[in-house]
């Protein structure tokens, strides 16, 4: 576990499971992969692979387990949307209970307004759902 990781804040721990869906694929690649080219190139390459590989493994497994291409796409889309909505709800309820992520939702509302903050959290989930859903459709059974 990383130093300073607050295990006593259950909202933060749960939100770390759902937070990656709130980053669109290109933002994730640029923010954590390509711009993370630190002096240690091996760490940067492994970080980039750690972002890309799990999603594609999940896409391929989901595509192979689905009955048809349409079902594979819709199941990935639904999973990403549910994760995005759960992350939104965690952010919405966090200001009263989580000292770690409690200030995130008010700062989003301050920057974008209420509707903008909702879209800021939900739209990347839609982008991820469609992006990886297309790959799931592509690798799905006929």
Q: Which of 99, 91, 97, 96 is nearest to 125 (CA)?
A: 91
44 contacts 33 by C-beta, under 8 angstroms: yes
Residue reference for tokens 């920057």: 111
Count the alpha carbons within 13 Å of 99 in the hemisphere toward its beta carbon: 5
First to last CA, the chain: 43
Please report which residue ranges of the chain form alpha helices under DSSP H. 10-18, 25-28, 41-65, 69-97, 104-139
| pLDDT tens, per residue, the chain with 142 residues | 455 667 777 877 788 777 777 776 666 666 655 555 556 666 666 666 766 777 778 888 888 888 888 988 888 888 888 888 998 998 888 888 888 888 888 999 999 999 999 998 899 888 888 888 888 888 887 7
Q: How far from chain centre, in Å, is Cα 72?
A: 19
pLDDT at position 106 = 92
């Amino acid at each position: 576990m990383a130093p300073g990781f607050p295990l006593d804040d259950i909202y933060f721990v749960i939100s770390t499971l759902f937070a990656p869906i709130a980053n669109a694929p290109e933002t994730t690649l640029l923010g954590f992969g390509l711009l993370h080219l630190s002096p240690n190139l091996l760490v940067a390459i492994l970080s980039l692979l750690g972002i890309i590989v799990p999603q594609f493994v999940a896409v391929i497994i989901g595509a192979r387990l689905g009955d048809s291409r349409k079902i594979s796409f819709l199941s990935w889309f639904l999973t990403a949307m549910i994760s995005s909505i759960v992350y939104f709800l965690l952010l919405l309820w966090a200001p009263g209970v989580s000292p770690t992520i409690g200030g995130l939702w008010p700062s989003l509302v301050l920057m974008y307004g209420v509707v903008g903050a909702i879209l800021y959290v939900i739209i990347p989930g839609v982008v991820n759902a469609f992006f990886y859903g297309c790959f799931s459709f592509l690798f799905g059974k006929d």
